[in-house]
Structure 1
Amino acid sequence: MNVVNSIRRNFAPIHREGYLFVAGFFVATLILWWIWDPLGWLGLIATLWCAYFFRDPARVTPVGEDLVIAPADGIVSFAGYAAPPPELGLGMGPLQRVSIFMSVFDCHVNRTPVEGRVERIVYHPGLFLNADLDKASEDNERNSIVVDTPAGRFGVVQIAGLIARRIICFTHEGAHLSAGERIGLIRFGSRVDVYLPANVQIVVGVDSRAVAGETVIAQSSSSAGARPFQRS
């Protein structure tokens, strides 16, 4: 089963946002091959990496109003209390936050952690510091999304990284989202922060690996047991 899951995640369709980049890498590879064969092989490796970077695998999302699902693939770099960006409108006091750092080898399609209505989307220009640094939450380019749910308001912040140069948002204000639904993409290394209401408890630890649309990162109750799933 682990082998099947690995194949499903690593050999997936390319997201349409990546078509132009993959084509550009391929053309550059042909030119490099014409110049010198070893360069062509390097270009081919880079083209395959680019196609891999823009993969968009289907995910199987656990269903439950009390569950908060990972919005990104990657390593949990922070799980604790932090002040949210002011544009979220969630107050100035510290809130629980889970940060997931995406390397250039992780899938960069982002998903909503909860079901709810998009209340607000605010783009904030900024720097391109290493997204693994805590100060990136304040200084880097970011796109902030507030999702209103019966359990409270959740903040989802897409943060550009050291070599990321564009944040793409797929949703819009007023949209109703299902948990695990695609909401955006960040190109070439980045981070996603999730700010949680007070009645929600973080259930992942720092340095653990998260899978967007599948890994439960927080829960509003201690109930356990079998849960339904939905494919997204």
Structure 2
Amino acid sequence: MKLPFRIHKEGRRMLTVTLAILTALTAIAFYFIPHVGWIVAGVLFVFFLIILQFFRNPRRLVPVEDDNIIYAPADGKVVVIEEAEEPEYFKERRLQVSIFMSPVNVHVNRNPIGGEVVYNAYHPGKYLVAWHPKSSTENERTTVVIDNGTTQILLRQIAGALAKRIKNYLEVGQTVRQGEDFGFIKFGSRVDIFLPLGTQLEVDLNQKVKGNKTVIARL
């Protein structure tokens, strides 16, 4: 059976192991309790589909490559739009936009602009719920800064109460293309974007966005 979407590389091993375990449990159920075997099989199949959807990776190209356009780096809902102090890299006030990724969202993170990676740092930390005000400074997180030649934007992947597996594929000095995958957060969490003050926003609070499709802002 051909799936209508790709499976992200971060989920292939887990899905293989999960499928093997669930197949064994189904066989055991049919052998020892055959009268409820199909019920057990159905429940385990639904469980596998839930895990499977966490790792879907739909093919998406940005409509137009333009580094003056900031595309959404993740699927989810805009939960923060505010001016905030960015203490790690810029050390000044920036316009912060935060996208919360629920367990049912696509978990792939994509480059909102193209350019050179000038900063990349991983920080271990707590696992507060992703919408907690202190999650952006106290949770496990990865911070990346991309320079497009005229401006720099900062991206921060933040782990939540369930998401304890942040993957970031970027390296300092690397040239990245707008729309390409830059990371993955297993089982949902949050991505913060820090933009220059005065940036023209194209989204509203509580708006649902899609990575590579929704325009977050224009520089």
Q: TM-score, normalised by structure 2?
A: 0.89
Question: 1:79 touches 1:202 (CA, 8 Å); kept in 2?
Answer: no
- Residue identity in the other structure for 2:15: V
2:85 paired residue number: 83
- Residue identity in the other structure for 1:28: I
Counterparts in 2 of 1:150 and 1:19: CA distance versus 1, 3 Å: same
Distance, in Å, in 2 between the alignment partners of 1:210 and 1:134 is 21
1:160 paired residue number: 159
- The correspondence for 2:13, drawn from 17, 20, 28, is 20
Distance, in Å, in 1 between the alignment partners of 2:193 and 2:172 is 18
2:27 paired residue number: 34
- Listed as ranges, the matches of 1:41-190 within 5 Å are 41-61=42-62, 62-86=64-88, 89-91=89-91, 93-190=92-189
Distance, in Å, in 1 between the alignment partners of 2:9 and 2:186 is 13
2:34 paired residue number: none
Distance, in Å, in 1 between the alignment partners of 2:139 and 2:168 is 16
Question: 1:78 touches 1:100 (CA, 8 Å); kept in 2?
Answer: yes
Give the Å deviation of 1:199. Answer: 4.5
Distance, in Å, in 2 between the alignment partners of 1:43 and 1:83 is 47
Question: 1:115 touches 1:176 (CA, 8 Å); kept in 2?
Answer: yes
- Residue identity in the other structure for 1:76: V
Distance, in Å, in 2 between the alignment partners of 1:85 and 1:123 is 15
- Residue identity in the other structure for 1:55: R
Distance, in Å, in 1 between the alignment partners of 2:142 and 2:87 is 10
Identity %: 35
Distance, in Å, in 1 between the alignment partners of 2:99 and 2:175 is 24
- Residue identity in the other structure for 1:13: R
Question: 1:31 touches 1:40 (CA, 8 Å); kept in 2?
Answer: no
Larger radius of gyration: 2
SS at the partner of 2:131?
Answer: coil
**Moved >6 Å (runs of 4+):** none
- Residue identity in the other structure for 1:50: I
Question: 1:85 touches 1:137 (CA, 8 Å); kept in 2?
Answer: no
Query: Which deviates further from its counterpart, 199-208 or 175-184?
Result: 199-208
* Residues 29-65 of structure 1: per-residue CA shift (max 9 Å, x gap): 1233134333332221121122221111111213223
2:194 paired residue number: 195
Number of residue pairs matched by the alignment: 208
1:230 paired residue number: none
Distance, in Å, in 2 between the alignment partners of 1:103 and 1:151 is 33
Distance, in Å, in 1 between the alignment partners of 2:28 and 2:124 is 40
Distance, in Å, in 1 between the alignment partners of 2:169 and 2:127 is 22
Question: 2:93 touches 2:197 (CA, 8 Å); kept in 1?
Answer: no
Query: What's the RMSD between the two structures over aligned residues?
Result: 1.6
- Residue identity in the other structure for 1:128: Y
Q: Which runs of 5+ in 2 are unaligned?
A: 30-36
Distance, in Å, in 1 between the alignment partners of 2:80 and 2:195 is 13
SS at the partner of 1:191?
Answer: strand
Counterparts in 2 of 1:150 and 1:200: CA distance versus 1, 3 Å: farther
